[in-house]
Structure 1
Amino acid sequence: MIVITIKYDHLIGKVEDEMDKKQLSDITYSVLDLSPVLKGGTAADSFKNTADLAVHAEKWGYHRYWLAEHHNNTGIASSATSLLIGHVASHTSTIRVGSGGVMLPNHSPLVIAEQFGTLESLFPERIDLGIGRAPGTDQMTAYALRRGPMSDGRDFPEHLAELRSYFQPENMGREMRVRAIPGEGLNIPVWLLGSSGYSAELAGILGLPFSFASHFSPENTLPALQLYRQSFRASGSLDKPHSMVCVNAIAADTDEEAAYLATTLKQYHLNLIRNTRGPLEPPVDNMDEMCSDYEKAILQHKLSLTIIGSPEKVKKEIETLAQETQVDEIMFNAQIFDHQARLRSFEIIADIMKG
């Protein structure tokens, strides 16, 4: 039994001797983009940066480029997620583009089936549909989106089943039923996304691929992945579990530069703690001056799985993450203020993952 001690307190665990050692070159690597709005910038600027990053990510060998649904947040421009997916797909040619994710309780399953059926028809074999059950916003905004009683999530499996049914080819030709046109008969991979055990277990039971949000729920990473694997049942989608984790990662040529760039990410999470969401802030020289001891403790906890550093340091921490989680894919999120620095971070990570 090999014991691996990691800097992330909640991921101190054990890896069996007989377990295959994960080679980074064997792990698929992808991008999560919130299309951040920069201080002094506009949503239009964010969309230009998103398209540019996607073009570079495709060139650097990233497999997927996912956009996330958030609402009523002046620092995130990806609220109309399916539209932005189309924008990215139109600027690229091979990279898979999808949702990380669409928050199903905010939408009619039929509408999502039609939207993603349209995307798949426009960009064949390139669209992913990642589904989450959280609102992606506050309760007041969720009500504005839904115009109905707030769901506690208990109906999520039924809504998911309805959504998936619209893609089934056996619906074709049937009379007197609701059908998703386009959408029907299309092979659009459905992923379940989660930050706790609920979606992990459901993904396992349904035999679907599962992506865990380690970038904001690090403490639940290993328990959720274990639950997914334990509950997995083979399906028409998968014959064995297929898992991915999403982590914050900020790479630069030196540890000092990466730490400086990472203060933007820390300010972003500090604003979430204070419920004062706003545009992405430029980096600062000293975060300690901005936080109380209590806030520092929360930040340390929330960002305990964040990877920050030079290529050597980042590679070591990604390797440790891969061994500890045994995932098939790693998705990287980078809240970096300067666009060129953000591109450089993703370029460094791509070079690391290529081995």
Structure 2
Amino acid sequence: MPDGTAFLDTPGAEPPLPLPPAARKGRGAGLNPPNRFERSAREAFDDGWGTLEAAFADLPPLPTTLTKDHAKSALAWNESPDIGFDRAVNPYRGCEHGCVYCYARPSHAYLGLSPGLDFETRLLFKPDVAALLEKELRRPGYVARPIALGSNTDPYQPVERTLQLTRAVLEVLDRFDHPVTIVTKSAGVLRDIDILRRMAERNLVRVCLSVTTLDARLARIMEPRAAAPERRLAAIRHLSETGIPAAVLAAPMIPGVNDSELETILERAAGAGATSAGYVLLRLPLEIKQLFEDWLARHMPDRAARVLSLIRQTRGGALYDSRFGVRQKGTGAYADLLAQRFAVAARRLGLERRGGGTGALDCSRFQVPQAAGGATQLALF
């Protein structure tokens, strides 16, 4: 396992971390806010004797712990009208990449954990995810539509190098001729290029690399354990040259932080071979508001107020609007301008062409392969 990674047998084996006043080295969040479902919360305070300063001085790096998630299902279903898929597989819960803005952070509260540092240090993994998926695909009446791999957390986060759960899922989908879309911030997707190449030949896969910024310094503080921007662009190039459809997702666009890079990100991705593109405006549901405000205060104190003001201009005066249809794009003049900029750039670069969406993948090939052990008597008729 990666250095500093440990295993736990069951969720909730140890209490949540106290609320630290500063970020840990190599981690994105600077806080570990209380679980919103708990009736009580703990908060650090200074008793006047300097004990708080001493307790949090020179905090050691936080290790990553892994807990087995004994899930009963591999497929997660959704009916959201503004999401382009209705089913997904997430081999992991929590994500070590540590992106401070990650919209999935609040989901960690359902596990009794904090959406802050817990989300990026206390991960759950599904050891039986591939077997569960195969069982579900074999169910009578199952109708194939593209599966989104990693819709909640990144399927190629660092622990995947050892656990290889994402690869096991791809092997199942390959055998079943089942279409899949992948979204990742990791060049680790290239490890599975042998499977992806086979699936691409049957029009069964599309890989989307999320590129938030081209500024390596900014990337290190926004998404500390994700692949460097240049490595993601190199991954797009390698996928494209291998015949695997590659897309770029400029997300999230944060007003006053990285939104000025939108056109450049699209240009570099198109030059690397991307054939389609998308973008998403920063989303700050639930605890992410607090985490993001703390991050701004620590890393960009000179423009924190301006950034928050711009965000409110795209959210009707609030920091977030959760309504379907507007939550990913925002409203108002600033959001409209961002949408127009994307449309113009995508059209100019040929990134708006048809064929980039999940609907372009071939669902007609899906077939249930013969189960291990040979043909059944029924299969002979």
- Give the TM-score range, shorter chain: 0.3 to 0.5
TM-score of the pair, normalised by structure 1? 0.37
Q: Which has the larger radius of gyration?
A: 2
Q: Which structure's residues are more often helix, by fraction? A: 1
TM-score normalised by the chain length of structure 2: 0.35
Higher RCO (C-alpha under 8 Å, 6+ residues apart):
1
